[in-house]
Structure 1
Amino acid sequence: MKHVKFIVFLCILTFTVSCGQQSKYVQYKVKEGETMSGIAQRFNMNTKDLLRLNPDVGSNPAVNSVIVIPNKKIKATSSTKDKTVEDVATGVKDKEATLKEKKEELIDELKKNFVVYEVKKGDTFYSLTRFYNVTQEELKTLNPRFIRRFKSWADY
């Protein structure tokens, strides 16, 4: 089990590192006779944006100087900065409402086949098995998360 966890961890780490190494910008070496407006046209962008990315370079950059240009291969993702606070709040409320509906649907479906009981303070393994007339093994099988939380009860 430890080996599986370690392998999964390595896979996630590898994926994260490979995604993080994708650069949003590339370096471009200016050739003789090129201007910032010509370079901007070549890469389908505004001259103002190119000058904003390279504030230390004027409209006529020196030959063999290196400037920064956005990498067009990486898709631009919309960030929450582009959205208004109201849009973000509405999205969060919609997600919460959807999750609440899903939870209610799942509980209703479970209630068709099983008794759903919320454990209260003072309930014991023994009292639940007696009240619902089930064996400890049945209760353990149907509630594996419950057993993991209360490992000391598994010894009853």
Structure 2
Amino acid sequence: MKYSIRLAVKDDYDKIVRLYEKAFEHREGLVAKYYTGFNEYLSFFVNRNNAFILEEDGTICGAVLVYETPDMFCGRSLYIEFLAVLPDYQNKGVGRALIEHVCNEAHRRGITEVSIRTACYKDAYLIYRHMGFRDSQSDCRFLTMNLKKIDTDVD
């Protein structure tokens, strides 16, 4: 699979909304229920250079929204807010590529931890664990990945 990952821009909003709707269609109404102002929601991430999309031949196959948590919480971390992959591209490495991109972005920003919360999706939890995320030792109840460890644990 030949793809590219880039920052999302405002012109991508409609495609990203459709991506999330398709990726979570098995969870009927998820996007509409929780993100009625999805374009505003996206703009929060896009305007801060915290929305990344993976494209193949001009098709947005996956997207991830992240934000940086300050030291005052559980330490400085890049938090994965939302990750979605089109159903036809699932189990083909798209999600992994996006997460690896987020890890590289964290490293570029001088951040040594990436966090994600995924309490209700057992399959996702297992995938993240396989990639190196571990249950947080803090009270934050996140899965975390220490990026210093990634350098030595890469398959």
Question: Per the shorter chain, which TM-score range?
Answer: under 0.3
More helix as a share of residues: 1
TM score, norm. by length of structure 2 = 0.25
More strand as a share of residues: 2
